[in-house]
Amino acid sequence: MPRSGTGSRDVTVGIKEVAHQAGVSPGTVSNVLNRPERVAPDTRARVQRVIEELGFVRNGSASSLRAGHGRIVGLMLLDLGNPFFAEVARGVEDLMSERDYGVILCGSASQVGREERNMRMLAEQQVRGVLVTPVSDNRGSLALLRERGIPTVMLDHPATRGDQCSVTVDDVTGGRLAVAHLLEGGARDIVFLGGPLTIRQNADRREGALRAMREAGTGVLRDVIVEEMTSRAGHEAAERLLAELPDAVFCANDLLAMGVLRVFLQQGVRVPGRVMVVGYDDIEYALASAVPLTSVRQPPYKLGRIAAELLLDECDNPGDHAHQQIMFQPELIVRESTTR
């Protein structure tokens, strides 16, 4: 590979070339990039001008090889197709972009295997830290990161140990709010429609539902567990429910609820007249659906953004960083799918 000594439009403009053109040493250029305050103002200006002129772009691989970590974080979510998580991702991405960090986004599709593969990939990339909504309490893939000293923040999941931050929404309360509302409306035979109970969100929302029944001293909960938490799955589950309609369906997310609504309306099951339906997440589209959906609202954008802030705080101040467990309270948004 030819290396032009003076050429300004070379494929690889390195820190050395910049140093040469600016009449300083490579070390100084590195300082301009990483600790500008240590460099005299006029030297700094001169170097920065040369950087502009040559179109120098720092080689992130070399940088993170030497420094031990780069300006990239990992974000691992359960399901990229769910607007709730899309909003979480937007929150994370916005903050990281402001702080000049990149985000490697991974979807685990709620599969342990895929989560582990992606975690391994993140470890290889020497990411600065990882935000993760874990598939289960499976410590395996997190251990991989811990061993390498990569900070993790739990997202929409409580910290499994004291040595990490977490940002969650109180799902037990969410489930309680939803089902208490249904009981007040007169429902007794209630279906819980959700994904696998190994996923914490499902288990907690169901637990909240049971608690509401205990508190009210009435009601029966029927579980309908589906593999995926999509509107298709909701659609299929609702078709099976037609044989024995409950008084109400509490869905563990809005996608399921939208699938259920579609079937009920097609089949002439009046909502809320015959069956009440409650969703979870209050995604934007829940409001616009045929029968506007009662749903439990969570703050996804804020969730992502705050988790991102916690992670960067831990990265930048490893000394005096205090791990925090932040929990938001959900809010029940009542619409027509549960009231006339």
Binding-site residue total for a second copy (CB under 8 A)?
54
* β-pair type (152-155, 331-333): unpaired
Q: Which residues contact 63 (CB under 8 A, 6 or more apart)?
A: 70
3-state secondary structure of 201: helix
284 binds, among DNA, a second copy, none (CB under 5 to 8 A by kind): a second copy
Least distance (Å) between residue 304 CB and a second copy: 11
- 8-state DSSP, 73: E
Which of the stretches 124-132, 172-180, 270-278, 306-314 binds a second copy when contact is defined by CB under 8 A? 124-132
Quick one: 20 or 262, whose CB is closer to a second copy? 262
Taking phi over 0 as left and psi of -120 to 50 as alpha, with beta for the rest, 230 belongs to: beta
Query: Residue 76: which of 154, 17, 170 has the closest Cα?
Result: 154
Using the minimum distance from each CB to a second copy, give the nearer residue, 38 or 120: 120
Stretch that binds DNA, among 65-73, 238-246, 256-264, 270-278 (CB under 7 A): 65-73
d(CA 284, CA 24): 55
Q: Is 150 in the site for DNA (CB under 7 A)?
A: no
Angle between helices 41-54 and 15-22 (to 10 degrees): 120
| Matching residue, tokens 């691992």 | 76
34 is an interface residue for a second copy by CB under 8 A: no
Q: How far is the CB of 18 from DNA (least distance, A)?
A: 8
Residue 14's binding partner, choosing from DNA, a second copy, none, with beta-carbon cut-off 5 to 8 A by kind? DNA
Helix (H) / strand (E) containing 65: helix 60-67
Query: x/- contact string, 258-297, with a second copy (CB under 8 A)?
Result: x--xx---------------------xx-xxxx-x-----
* 21 is a contact residue toward DNA (CB under 7 A): no
Cα gap 25→39, rounded to integer Å: 12
Q: CB-wise, 67 or 290, nearer to DNA?
A: 67
Dihedral angle of Cα 332, 334, 338, 340, to the nearest 10 degrees: 160
172 binds a second copy (CB under 8 A): no
How many whole angstroms separate alpha carbon 167 and alpha carbon 283?
A: 19
Residues near a second copy (CB under 8 A): 11, 55, 57-62, 64-65, 70-72, 80-81, 83, 86-87, 89-90, 93, 97, 100, 102-107, 114, 117-118, 120-126, 144, 147-149, 231, 258, 261-262, 284-285, 287-290, 292
Residues near DNA (CB under 7 A): 1, 12, 14-16, 23-28, 30-31, 33-34, 38-40, 43, 56, 58-59, 62-63, 65-67
